[in-house]
Structure 1
């Protein structure tokens, strides 16, 4: 059982390397990697519930709450009770949060360049990682 033969180590090392490559790009935006993921979801769908965000990111609300508080303190989003269901909190981008999207457009390109994958390899890597995630989560 050699370390280099373990898929779990390859996943761990790749995750750390990719996250480290994101760091300087996201520092320039004032975001951490988890905050960036939240913003990606909000840039796709501006009004979303905390529950929907948690499902999209596969995170519990206890993990999301501190992230959302910091993003709100930075003026990037607002948390609002939904009028139709006071138990549900809607997340909405502020003007500042929406404008940050323009500054972040180069991030995926820079990361894609750093990975050096062909479009086919990129698609295959995503397909395999989603399969691993689904199998492990359901297993």
Structure 2
């Protein structure tokens, strides 16, 4: 079926939310690259560090759940962060299958440098705090609906 004058094509690529989200995701991650490179972090590593800066040392499984990643996907990210001296991994004494991830002093200190990133990214993306709050609320609603 083709669109006629006055009606929109329901399958037009540019009107699909999935397309807009996909392009936005790639574009925003790319915008983070020059901000994160001086810190030696990739965007996925930055997300791991954000989760670790929030609180006590989680297990790999808990961290994967927080980040909505498969533990098998997260494990190499954590290994690279360990190689950079930012985190340590420790096997559980009671259960060797449990792997606890903790910040090193270098990883904890990196937080101070990262505190400027949200403001810098707002400036790079040309959005203000109110716009981001609204966008975050809408994205959270979409995520919840998609996970049902």
Structure 2 residue runs without a partner (length 5+): 1-10
Tell me the residue number matched to 2:8.
Answer: none
In the superposition, the TM-score normalised over structure 1's length comes to: 0.92
SS in 2 for 1:28: helix
The question of 1:75 aligning with 2:75 is answered no
Deviations 1:111-132, CA, capped at 9 Å, x for gaps: 1223333433222211111111
Q: 2:14 aligns with which of 1, 4, 7?
A: 4
Q: Give, in whole Å, the separation in 1 of the partners of 2:12 and 2:50.
A: 37
Return the alpha-carbon distance in structure 1 between the equivalents of residues 50 and 20 of structure 2.
Answer: 26
Other-structure match for 1:87: 97
Q: Does the CA contact (< 8 Å) of 1:46 and 1:91 recur in 2? A: no
TM-score by length of 2: 0.87
> Are 2:37 and 1:27 equivalent residues in the alignment?
yes
**Range that drifts further, 27-36 or 122-131:** 122-131
Q: Greater share of helix residues, 1 or 2?
A: 1
Is the contact made by 2:33 and 2:43 (CA closer than 8 Å) also made in structure 1? yes
Q: What is the Cα-based RMSD across aligned positions, in Å?
A: 1.3
Structural mapping, 1:1-139, within 5 Å: 1-138=11-148
Equivalenced residue count is 138
Q: Which runs of 4+ in 1 moved over 6 A?
A: none
